[in-house]
Amino acid sequence: MTIDDAIASLARADRLLVALDFDGTLSPLVDDPMSARMAPAARAAVDAIASSPDTTVALVSGRSLSDLRVIAEHGDDSVLLLAGSHGAEHWTPADGTRHPAAGEPTAAERAERDRLRAEAEALVAGVPGAWIEPKTFGFAVPSRTVAADERAELHARVDALMAAQAPHWRRRTGHHIVEYAFRAEGKDTALAWLRAHTGATAVLFAGDDVTDEDALGSLGPGDVGVRVGPGQTSASVRVAGIPELAQMLVRLAHERTRTRE
């Protein structure tokens, strides 16, 4: 499918959901995860498509919801829906509150999470640039700031810990990161909830990483998946990077407004 074909199809949808990954899709990848912010062109494109008729925009991220709100500069008055923790946490404009998809972590889950996180921190403590990123339902091991020849050993250490003590946790990989979670939701789960919540008749989902393939692979007829950058994908459209995705979203906003006037 060409970008022109995708825009023409989505512009005619009765009710459109535009769901977007954040890191690497709207924001450049950075060494300090909490310093990530939307590229200016991406911010303008999100604002444009969110203002087009009969259209809802959602951010879908592996980030914990509280962190996603910070990096997306997402205020209580925002019209953007959020799905954090790969869909295990939701935020809607209707009441501006956090909704865990299947309840809060239990005391036992929190205790196991904190114990394993502490053990992982001890394992990586001697590796320059290594650290553990806390998550609501687990933790992640970023390695972007670790020397390339030390990354494999770093991840092997934590993999061994989790295989021995929490083999039931879900393991995910991404751009220089491995994440472990005691909840199994993926971005396909997030997309299913968003579709039902918004009553969308068509969906555009865009992402740049392995975890986005859960959502891209769940799309149906009339939907459009966009892969941002290189990598194997089930998306029907590929763009080179964030600027090209922003251009596509702006074009879609203009075409949707024109078509539905």
How far the first Cα of the chain sits from its last, in Å, is 26
Question: How far out from the chain centre does Cα 1 lie?
Answer: 23
Q: How far apart are CA 190 and CA 200, in angstroms?
A: 14
Return the active site residues: 21
Q: How far apart are CA 99 and CA 85, in angstroms?
A: 12
Tokens, residue 81: 């829906």
Query: Beta strands of the chain (E only): which ranges?
Result: 16-20, 55-60, 81-84, 89-91, 98-100, 133-135, 138-142, 170-174, 177-181, 202-207, 224-228, 237-239
Strand order in the sheet with 170-174: 133-135, 138-142, 177-181, 170-174
The sign of the dihedral angle between the CA atoms of 226, 189, 172, 119 is positive
Tokens, residue 102: 């299947």
Q: Is 166 helix (H, G, I), strand (E, B) or coil?
A: coil
Q: How far apart are CA 52 and CA 229, in angstroms?
A: 26
